[in-house]
Amino acid sequence: MIHPTAIVHEGAQIAEDVRIGAYSVVGPEVHIGPGTEIGTHTLIEGETTIGARNRIFSHAVIGSIPQDLKYHGEKVRLEIGDENIIREFTLINPGTEGGGGVTRIGNGNLLMGYVHIAHDVRIGNACILANAATLAGHVELGDRVVVGGMTPIHQFVRVGDYAMIAGASALSQDIPPYCLAEGNRAVLRGLNLTGLRRNVERETVDALKSAYRRLFESNEALRENAEKLFKESDNEAVRNLCRFILESRRGIPFKRKTNAQ
């Protein structure tokens, strides 16, 4: 299962059926779960835990020290869940002391070629990051988020569940769950209706449509409106949307529609 040219350092804990390709290097503090496949010329180091049935393609670099000048060799971790696909030349860094010391990636995600996951990032489950998407430090993605290719996301930005960021955008503020954002700088363009219709009941989609119009297309102040809607609605998705807005620290990028005369 391990190519004779691969280097697996003493101390690494590797499940029996893990496949490791030619010229790959696995460090002494790495844990790799069953069924995981590692391509050629891959580097996995640091205190890195990788779960079961992941596929890691050639030339990925996983667990190398953070690209943060505040990092001075302290113990930090990278945790990757199960059944992720990590394509060629992807770079994933562990956490830093200032961000809790851990970068965490959930289950069933697809990270396409040249994706960068910086220190202290949190990624949920079933997300898709297209080629060369770049997540700066402390970024948080919910579940089933889609990030288009060549899109950078500023540090400390949060992106909610089922949100979609169009390719070649530049994101510097928080994107609420269920929403679609596009542009440089990215702003809300509506709901991610395609993603919602694939995963959410029609009644919830209709409730989110109504909530989106009220929140982002009326003349009321966003936070006050979100507070009112959170108290009034019994739909959990609508309440999640309002809760995200109320908790946002970087603000929500949107433009109100104006009625032309």
Of the residues 59, 116, 119, 138, only one is catalytic, namely 119
Q: Output the six-digit token pair for 115.
A: 């994706």
For this structure, is 119 an active site residue?
yes
Of the residues 120, 143, 161, 174, only one is catalytic, namely 120
* Cα three-residue angle 191-196-197, rounded to 5 degrees: 120
For this structure, is 68 an active site residue?
no
In one-letter notation, the amino acid at residue 243 is R
Radius of gyration of the chain (CA): 20
DSSP state of 219: S
For this structure, is 31 an active site residue?
no
Looking at the annotation, which residues are catalytic?
A: 119-120, 137
